[in-house]
Structure 1
Amino acid sequence: MSQSTEFAAMPDEHGFFGSYGGQFVPPHLKQVMDDINAAYDEIRRRADFQQELAGLFADYVGRPSPVFHARRLSDQLGGAQIHLKREDLNHTGAHKINHCLGEALLAKFMGKRRVIAETGAGQHGVALATACALVGIPCEIHMGQVDIEKEHPNVIKMKILGCKLVAVTRGAATLKEAVDSAFEEYLKDPEGTLYAIGSVVGPHPFPKMVRDFQSIVGREAREQFLARHGRLPDYVSACVGGGSNAIGMFTAFLPDADVSLVGVEPAGEGLDRPGRHSATLTKGRPGQLHGMACYVLEDGQGNPAAVHSIASGLDYPGVGPQHSYLKEIGRVVYDVASDAETLDAFMTLSRVEGIIPALESAHAVAWAMRTAPSLRADQHILVNLSGRGDKDADYVAQKLGL
């Protein structure tokens, strides 16, 4: 288990991971972003903040989430053993609560009057509405109309939790448009509002901040796996849209050269069909989007391309800058899973292990199911099961005619 320290200093003081990241924002927003960075750097060093967050993780979220050995699935597939980091068991049903609690506490510390955000599958929206209810700050969530119709259970939860839900009908009416809409609203009052970005994307310090809050996932998983097996897994996989659950899982393992890290993007209906996939790192190229330099899927005019995934939380034409950097240096391999493979993984895990995964997480499960048979029985794949599939059950049932 050889380790290196080369990843410890990311990002640099300007928010760059190599050539990715930074702050590509209007001049009047730079000071706002710098103030957020300064406030975050202050509270993350304070013992009272860390104790409050740790207490909420334990007593409110229910951490640590367990690592489950999917024995029946592993036996059915043959080959490597598959293990699941059960973020689906967190309060609100996904990993999103980890950074939403941090962002809500930061907003409270900074004296912000409200918190605003976008959501795709609704998991970030539910988690942020939950965290804002807990700390007593008004919350506004922007969500694409297409996703509102797909993710009805999460829409109802957000309304019950008291947030203001804004339906976005422009363009494709999915995640990118929700980000655009939320950011436009944020610009009306950036001093009084915290834009609680839902992934490791956007201008510095958000990719760093969200990563730090999510890194508890990988720290727990590494310790749990090592304690149980006396070794680390051979492969660690997670789905990648913006990339928060994957960075949260990967960060603790980055120095472990003998652990292969695999991010799984949505191949949708085919990589050869522009606009019908969301495989940004696989088919995109370096560009700028939403205040950061990162890989971007672009159309023929150089604009962000139309994207698609069966999983609403993954249909984004950009990706976190740290993922862009990790691809460039080869530390993480980025693969894909199609809509069809994802649906199969969703149903297989449900019926073989009694665990209904989020469609986002099912991309990583699909990769593990495809890969395990080619490996030895003494090898191990650890999958970040980043969310549960309650929100997707009606949509999948309709799609499959159940």
Structure 2
Amino acid sequence: MIETVSSDSPNLPDSQGYFGQFGGNHYPPEVKPALDELANTYRAVRQSRDFQRTLDTVRKGLQGRPTPVHYLENTSRRIGGAQIYVKREDLNHTGAHKINHCVGFALLAREMGKRKLIAETGAGQHGVALAAAAAYFGLECEIHMGAIDIEKQSSNVGRMRLLGAHVVSATAGQSTLKEASDSAFNAYVEQRDHALYAIGSAIGPHPFPMIVRDFQSVVGREARGQFLSLTGGCLPDHVVACVAGGSNALGIYAGFLDDSDVALHAVEPLGKSDEPGQHAATLSFGRPGVLHGARSIILQQDGAPAKVSSVASGLVYPGVGPEIAMLHDTGRLSVSAIPDEEVIDVFFQVTRSEGIIPALESVHALAYGIRLASSEPASKRILVNLSGRGDKDVDHVIANYGAGCRLTT
């Protein structure tokens, strides 16, 4: 008999996997039994004390949780406006929030008797995290990655291989995250009898968005308590996260969704410009459609997913997760987009002034947090999810932008 504990997850998705008008299961019918098996197993174990105890033990020992909330004193002083805090998900083992759901999927695979994990990765952070989780639990691991990203994020490719993962190059189309997702989905369809697809964000058919959100909610739960402790009982006025699929955003939002006085901000990549194909700002310019097994908001051109661009490999995706789409649709999220040039400037600012090398994905959120702080009084507090560290980006930044300081005034 499974000993249960209460779940603090929201009531969505509904029984069909929908968040309002978004979500569902638009996947080949032959895969439905495998997805039903995953959903049924997850429903059983999500309330199990044994499962949760094991997950907590791995999070403390392997991951290094809890990660701290940290005040960016130098940046806040320089701006002279609102106070900026960051949730340091970059301090997780493997360097990002991704490991939060990777260890969860590895535990689920063990519960289901699967011997292999399959996934896609863009910047490589999810791939490294899943490879580490697979190694820890003694599972095989197959990571699909766009050929462009394999070259751009070579250090993370090396880490995946060191951890025992088989890295598959996706060479179709733009050879980036969307194509890696296509390749991984196809591999899962072929290997579903013995493998579990450990999706890299809160995207895809039901139950993947729900599972990823639930495993990532640890970020928001921790952050809420830590912030209250740091500020003497005050909540942040604003919570900011970068958004592509939405795993890090849903993780940090989870602690504050029910607080109407806390504004939630989603920050997208404006890339080189707002012209089609030059950005990946899906909420800003997309429209409803189906991508990777779920109905959501998608950047489209001629009825197909549009080409996308960003300096941050992990944000080069023409869609968002269905729950993010719903939160935007209901007005709970404000949306902004940050161009590549501003991302690089803020990358150097934060590195030089705070001693932190943030991932380029996270810098989008930091850049908006800085914009926001400059227009708010010092009495306001902003919490930014620093979702990953930028070790993976250093070679690319130096090769393309130099190692000099590009501080904005």
TM-score category, normalised to shorter length: over 0.9
Three-state SS of the structure 1 residue aligned to 2:191 is coil
**For 2:138 and 2:250, how far apart are their aligned partners in 1?**
29
**Secondary structure, in 3 states, of the residue corresponding to 1:253?**
coil
Matched, 1:64 2:66: yes
SS in 2 for 1:252: coil
Structure 1 residue 189 displacement after superposition: 2.0
Matching residue within 236, 240, 246 for 2:239: 236
Corresponding residue number in structure 2 for 1:141: 143
Partner of 1:311: 312
What TM-score does the superposition give when structure 2 sets the normalisation length?
0.95
1:275 to partner: Cα distance:
0.6
Instruction: Give CA-to-partner distance per residue, 1:262-316, whole Å, 9 cap, x none.
Output: 0100000111x111100011100011000000000001x2000000110000010
Superposition map of 1:138-217 within 5 A: 138-217=140-219
Q: After superposition, where does 1:2-401 map in structure 2 within 5 Å?
A: 8-229=10-231, 230-271=233-274, 273-299=275-301, 301-401=302-402
Alignment-mate amino acid for residue 202 of structure 2 = V
Distance (Å, rounded) in 1 between the aligned partners of 2:88 and 2:282: 26
Task: Show structure 2 runs of 5+ residues with no match.
Answer: 1-8, 404-409
- Say how many residue pairs are matched: 395
Deviations 1:9-57 (CA, angstroms, capped at 9, x unpaired):
1111111000100000111111211110000111111111000001111
In the TM superposition, what whole-angstrom CA distance separates every residue of 1:47-98 from its partner, at most 9, and x where no partner exists?
Answer: 1100000111112111110011001100101100000100000100000000
Partner of 2:190: helix, strand, or coil? coil
- Aligned structure 1 segments of 4 or more residues deviating by more than 3 angstroms: none
> Residues 101-133 of structure 1, C-alpha deviation per residue, up to 9 Å, x if partnerless?
000110111011211100000000000000000
- 1:334-361 Cα offsets, whole Å, 9 max, x none, are 1111101111111100000000000000
Once superposed, what is the RMSD of the aligned Cα atoms? 1.0
SS at match of 1:68: strand
Within 2, Cα distance between the matches of 1:195 and 1:59? 24
The CA distance in 2 between the partners of 1:83 and 1:205, in whole Å, is 33
- Displacement of 1:8 after TM fit? 2.7
1:267 match: secondary structure: strand
Quote the Cα distance in structure 2 between the aligned partners of 1:252 and 1:13.
24
CA distance in structure 2 between the aligned counterparts of 1:397 and 1:108, rounded to whole angstroms: 41
Take 1:87 and 1:8, find their aligned partners in 2: how far apart are those partners?
23
Q: Secondary structure of the equivalent of 1:202?
A: coil
TM-score between both structures, scaled by the size of structure 1: 0.97
Deviation larger for 54-63 or 171-180: 54-63
User: How many Å separate the matches in 1 of 2:191 and 2:98?
Assistant: 25
CA distance in structure 1 between the aligned counterparts of 2:402 and 2:256, rounded to whole angstroms? 41
Task: Name the CA distance, whole Å, in 1 between partners of 2:138 and 2:10.
Answer: 35
Spell out, residue by residue over 1:123-167, the C-alpha distance to the aligned partner (whole angstroms, 9 max, x if none): 000000000000001000000010011111101000100000011
Determine the C-alpha separation between the residues in 1 that align with 2:225 and 2:56: 17
